[in-house]
Chains A and B, each alone.
Chain A
Amino acid sequence: MSSDKSAEKYLNLKTKAKEKMESLNEKTVVMVGAATCGKAAGVIDTREALKDEIEKKGIDAQVVEVGCMGFCYAEPIVVISKPGFPSLCYGSVDEGLAVRLVEDYLVNDDPCFEYALVALEPNDYFPVFTDFPRGVYEKKIILEQCGFIDPEDIDHYLAEDGYEALAKTFEIQPEEVIESIKESKLRGRGGAGFPAGIKWDVCSKAQDDSKYVICNADEGDPGAFMDRSILESNPHQVIEGLIISAYAVGASKGYIYVRSEYPQAVRRVETALEQAREKGLLGDSILETDFSFDIEIFEGSGAFVCGEETALINSMEGIMGVPEHRPPFPASYGFRGKPTLINNVKTLSYVPHIIRKGVEWFKSIGTSDSPGTAVFALVGKVEYTGLVEVPMGTSLRNLIYDVGGGVPDEKDFKAVQIGGPSGGCLPESALDIPIDFDSLHEAGAIMGSGGLVVLNEDDCMVEIARYFLDFTQKESCGKCTFCRLGTKHMLDMLGEITRGEGELNHLDTLRELGEDIKKGSLCGLGKTAPNPVLTTLRYFKDEYEAHIKEKRCPALMCMHLLGFYIIPERCSKFCSACVGSCPTEAIYTRDDQLKAIDQEKCVKCNSCLFACPPEFYAVEKLSPAELVEEREREQG
């Protein structure tokens, strides 16, 4: 292997990229976060306003689209790097603020600190990440560059030591690469946490003339979007990881399996692949070595179950995406019957960092059995929603209260749902357990794909269990008996409970059936589907019992057990906000000009509750629904 030549070739690429970046940094650069989430929040308007204003004022500044920085609560986000000032990040930048930033900052040198979120490098004016509690607990590895480099320009990545790990890889033997990954104890981030090194080893040892590597980006978990975010914000990191894995196991062809629901991710990966080919980092004789490898994109067609390895392979072969029995594992018998290494986006993203910074560095982060970091999509009833990356072993409490800023609106924390439809709900008492694969598993949840939903007192645990089961039941492929019929029966029972038609013996049946589905199902989808139900039954049985025995939903969420009532003492004769808000004309004006609700017509949509002005606060939710009648009778 001509490693000297490849190192030289790489250095050449990097130097050129650095020169380009330096000349770029001499000017003012305005970066707008334009991942899918940013676009939904209106970043396109912001970008246009910035461009127009910059042009109008005749300023020499460049507007660059970048990916997602992970501060979803503050979208649209803009970062301004102006020579002579620290790079500053601004949140909630609408068109008005965009114009003002150009006017005040770009023209008149006033950085508008009142709108800044954080500074990107240490300075004397404004705090940086580590000055906030969030920054103390967060440790960014695979999200580090997301949102700060242009995903559509490979030079940004190259200038930040991108592809250095690849050049380094070519200096050592494939076995040594595998040994490093094994030693680093990197565990698969797709959910189950299987040691990546062992998988690589099996695939590498399989004797065959052709092998494949696949990046699994079929992220379908409702509420998890980190894979999309990484692909949209830093696609080269994943590509580099995939090339290294191909070199390690001896594959000549790779695929990135992306959901077609992520059009922007597909587009950005396409661009990235093209640029990598142009630079000689992909294709024939990569970096002038004798290693040739290319990557193709395969767009998934919207089936959650295709995240399962064997189903994913089936769908790539043009047959129905249903799972097969394992073994044989894809690492020995996979795509086209050949040894196939399948890794999640996040797993592959760690690979370049491990190779570049070393095994010891990686092991120094996180816990001894789960080294590295955990990436979560932090959503729900938490102050700072977004993508977060913390070292393994951080407690859930730190994650929710320090990184996430706690539960807003002075509400009480109730539970945290980890791992989406395959995960579970953990109560307050479990908040001090450390986040790692084994501890979460013990508590009944799983790391899963990294969705983390914080639930407060207004969230009904029976309903959340029903919701997740409804998802898995709809996404079940229907091949095996337990998953096809078992999840449907569980869902029907949960539906009855949330409608107040449940019976107490349902609870035992749910638990028994749930355990059997876990043991009896063919694939990972079925094996984990009952988790949300089993954990809520374990930790929140009293809520289930309230639904069954009292027909009462303690969180006032299950519509069938609710009634809306307007408290006459609080209602005002001179206001009819609720009347206008009601989509079904269920609210009428009584003879005394106060308002009341026709229970027959009410669809329990919450509209009146939000419409009623805070000074009256007259609409009340009651459960069980009979309470409304009782109140009305009391009133006479």
Chain B
Amino acid sequence: MSDKVTITIDDCKITAPEGEKLLWVALDNDIYIPNLCALKEKDRPSASCRLCFVEVKGISDPVTACTLPVTEGLVVKTRSPEVDRLVKTAFELLITDHRLGCKKCPANNSCELQKISKERGLKYKSKRFKPFEKDEPIDESMEQFIFDRSRCVLCGRCVWVDHHVAEVGAIGFSLRGIKRKVTTFGDYDLADSPCTECGECVKVCPVGALSFNE
């Protein structure tokens, strides 16, 4: 992977190691592409948040940047009417399933959703879709942090670091479809799980679902 390739993102020529995923190349070069679920350490990207769409020359439909390995001569645009439309819809969908109220949110000003909104000029309110009611109980059983599931965007970062970085296995996905959520075994409080309070999961949460107690 030591071979370098030259690619073009938004008319900027960039040199990057061949095979590196486009999303990281762009972010490393201060070109923002919206993302929630991506983790650099993870070999196989989960590609689940569907926000990092870009337009690639020669491919008709937008592609996700987190899954695209860079190759020599790749020409990419981070914005296009089609890309913007998909990102807007994905963002709108996520907002309808996310408990708003940024002022009270521990992640206020560090939230990835806020960042996407600012960068792409997207609103916190959807005109097209009715928001889902979100009033899941908040898990406050741990000393160091709280887990507010109503703010969770199901990016899966916490589950991955819990399993592969902390190697604890306290949380995981359960159920499926619209009911899919991050839970402990038996959906009990975190205090009743093998959680060691290492805090790795809190560090990677892009929103205010997992947050340290002040």
A and B touch in the complex (CB under 8 A): yes
Residue in chain A with minimal CB distance to B155: A481
In the bound complex, residues from chain B placing their C-beta under 8 Å from that of A484 are 154, 177-178, 180
Which of B46, B61, B89 interacts with A482 by CB under 8 Å? B89
Interface positions of A from 432 to 477, Cβ below 8 Å from B? 473-477
In the bound complex, residues from chain B placing their C-beta under 8 Å from that of A519 are 61-62, 82, 86
Interface positions of A from 400 to 439, Cβ below 8 Å from B? none
The docked-state distance in angstroms from the alpha carbon of A211 to that of B97 is 42
The docked-state distance in angstroms from the alpha carbon of A481 to that of B64 is 13
Indicate if the CB atoms of B48 and A479 lie closer than 8 Å: yes
Interface positions of A from 546 to 584, Cβ below 8 Å from B? none
* Chain B min CB distance to A323 (Å): 9
Indicate if the CB atoms of A476 and B178 lie closer than 8 Å: yes
Which of A303, A325, A478, A489 interacts with B64 by CB under 8 Å? A325
Which of A320, A486, A492, A520 interacts with B53 by CB under 8 Å? A520
B85 interface residue per 8 A CB criterion: yes
A606 interface residue per 8 A CB criterion: no
In the bound complex, residues from chain A placing their C-beta under 8 Å from that of B93 are 481-482, 485-486, 489
Interface positions of B from 22 to 65, Cβ below 8 Å from A? 44-51, 53, 61-62, 64
Indicate if the CB atoms of B47 and A522 lie closer than 8 Å: yes
B71 interface residue per 8 A CB criterion: no
- Provided the pairs A303-B176, A513-B89, A520-B90 are in contact, do residues A480 and B97 lie with their beta carbons within 8 angstroms? no
Which of B45, B50, B128, B130 interacts with A481 by CB under 8 Å? B50
The docked-state distance in angstroms from the alpha carbon of A295 to that of B80 is 49
A621 interface residue per 8 A CB criterion: no
A100 interface residue per 8 A CB criterion: no
The docked-state distance in angstroms from the alpha carbon of A303 to that of B176 is 10
The docked-state distance in angstroms from the alpha carbon of A479 to that of B154 is 8
The docked-state distance in angstroms from the alpha carbon of A521 to that of B90 is 10
Indicate if the CB atoms of B180 and A478 lie closer than 8 Å: yes
Which of B47, B48, B62, B128 interacts with A509 by CB under 8 Å? B128
Indicate if the CB atoms of B178 and A482 lie closer than 8 Å: no
* Chain A min CB distance to B105 (Å): 20
The docked-state distance in angstroms from the alpha carbon of A484 to that of B90 is 11
A516 interface residue per 8 A CB criterion: yes
B8 interface residue per 8 A CB criterion: no
Residue in chain A with minimal CB distance to B87: A520
- Provided the pairs A325-B67, A485-B96, A520-B90 are in contact, do residues A476 and B53 lie with their beta carbons within 8 angstroms? no
A153 interface residue per 8 A CB criterion: no
A171 interface residue per 8 A CB criterion: no
In the bound complex, residues from chain B placing their C-beta under 8 Å from that of A320 are 173, 176
- Among A474, A481, A489, max chain B CB count under 10 A is at A481
Which of B44, B62, B154 interacts with A478 by CB under 8 Å? B154
A324 interface residue per 8 A CB criterion: yes
* Chain B min CB distance to A447 (Å): 21
Indicate if the CB atoms of A522 and B48 lie closer than 8 Å: yes
Number of A interface residues, CB 8 Å? 28
In the bound complex, residues from chain A placing their C-beta under 8 Å from that of B130 are 489, 492
In the bound complex, residues from chain A placing their C-beta under 8 Å from that of B173 are 320
Interface positions of A from 327 to 382, Cβ below 8 Å from B? none
In the bound complex, residues from chain B placing their C-beta under 8 Å from that of A279 are none
In the bound complex, residues from chain A placing their C-beta under 8 Å from that of B45 are 325
Residue in chain B with minimal CB distance to A526: B50
The docked-state distance in angstroms from the alpha carbon of A520 to that of B64 is 9
Indicate if the CB atoms of B86 and A520 lie closer than 8 Å: yes
Indicate if the CB atoms of B53 and A480 lie closer than 8 Å: no
Flag B60-82 by CB within 8 Å of A: 1 or 0 each: 01101001000000000000001
Residue in chain A with minimal CB distance to B129: A489
B175 interface residue per 8 A CB criterion: yes
The docked-state distance in angstroms from the alpha carbon of A520 to that of B88 is 11
Indicate if the CB atoms of A485 and B178 lie closer than 8 Å: yes
Residue in chain A with minimal CB distance to B174: A320
Indicate if the CB atoms of B154 and A489 lie closer than 8 Å: no
In the bound complex, residues from chain B placing their C-beta under 8 Å from that of A520 are 50, 53, 86, 89-90
A397 interface residue per 8 A CB criterion: no
In the bound complex, residues from chain A placing their C-beta under 8 Å from that of B97 are 485
- Provided the pairs A324-B44, A325-B64 are in contact, do residues A516 and B86 lie with their beta carbons within 8 angstroms? yes
Indicate if the CB atoms of A478 and B47 lie closer than 8 Å: no
Indicate if the CB atoms of A513 and B128 lie closer than 8 Å: yes
* Chain A min CB distance to B102 (Å): 20
Indicate if the CB atoms of A522 and B176 lie closer than 8 Å: no
- Provided the pairs A513-B128, A520-B53 are in contact, do residues A479 and B46 lie with their beta carbons within 8 angstroms? yes
* Chain A min CB distance to B151 (Å): 15
Indicate if the CB atoms of B49 and A478 lie closer than 8 Å: no
* Chain A min CB distance to B141 (Å): 25
The docked-state distance in angstroms from the alpha carbon of A36 to that of B44 is 41
- Provided the pairs A485-B94, A513-B89 are in contact, do residues A473 and B178 lie with their beta carbons within 8 angstroms? yes
* Chain A min CB distance to B201 (Å): 18
Interface positions of B from 137 to 196, Cβ below 8 Å from A? 154, 173, 175-180
- Provided the pairs A320-B173, A325-B67, A489-B96 are in contact, do residues A481 and B85 lie with their beta carbons within 8 angstroms? no
Indicate if the CB atoms of A474 and B177 lie closer than 8 Å: yes
- Among B53, B130, B178, B179, max chain A CB count under 10 A is at B178
In the bound complex, residues from chain B placing their C-beta under 8 Å from that of A475 are 177
Flag A482-496 by CB within 8 Å of B: 1 or 0 each: 101110110010000
The docked-state distance in angstroms from the alpha carbon of A211 to that of B89 is 40
Interface positions of A from 505 to 523, Cβ below 8 Å from B? 509, 512-513, 516, 519-522
The docked-state distance in angstroms from the alpha carbon of A66 to that of B172 is 46
In the bound complex, residues from chain A placing their C-beta under 8 Å from that of B176 are 303, 320, 476-478
* Chain B min CB distance to A315 (Å): 12
The docked-state distance in angstroms from the alpha carbon of A325 to that of B44 is 8
* Chain B min CB distance to A419 (Å): 21
In the bound complex, residues from chain B placing their C-beta under 8 Å from that of A486 are 89, 93
- Among B67, B94, B154, B177, max chain A CB count under 10 A is at B177
The docked-state distance in angstroms from the alpha carbon of A476 to that of B46 is 16
The docked-state distance in angstroms from the alpha carbon of A482 to that of B86 is 9
Residue in chain A with minimal CB distance to B69: A327
* Chain B min CB distance to A300 (Å): 14
Identify 7 new A-B residue pairs, CB closer than 8 A, beyond the known A476-B177, A479-B48: A477-B177, A481-B49, A481-B94, A485-B94, A488-B132, A509-B128, A512-B128
Query: Taking beta carbons and an 8 Å cutoff, which residues of A are in contact with B?
Result: 303, 320, 324-325, 473-482, 484-486, 488-489, 492, 509, 512-513, 516, 519-522
Query: Taking beta carbons and an 8 Å cutoff, which residues of B are in contact with A?
Result: 44-51, 53, 61-62, 64, 67, 82, 85-86, 89-90, 93-94, 96-97, 128-130, 132, 154, 173, 175-180
A-B contact pairs, 6 of them (CB 8 A): A478-B175, A484-B178, A485-B96, A509-B129, A519-B62, A520-B90
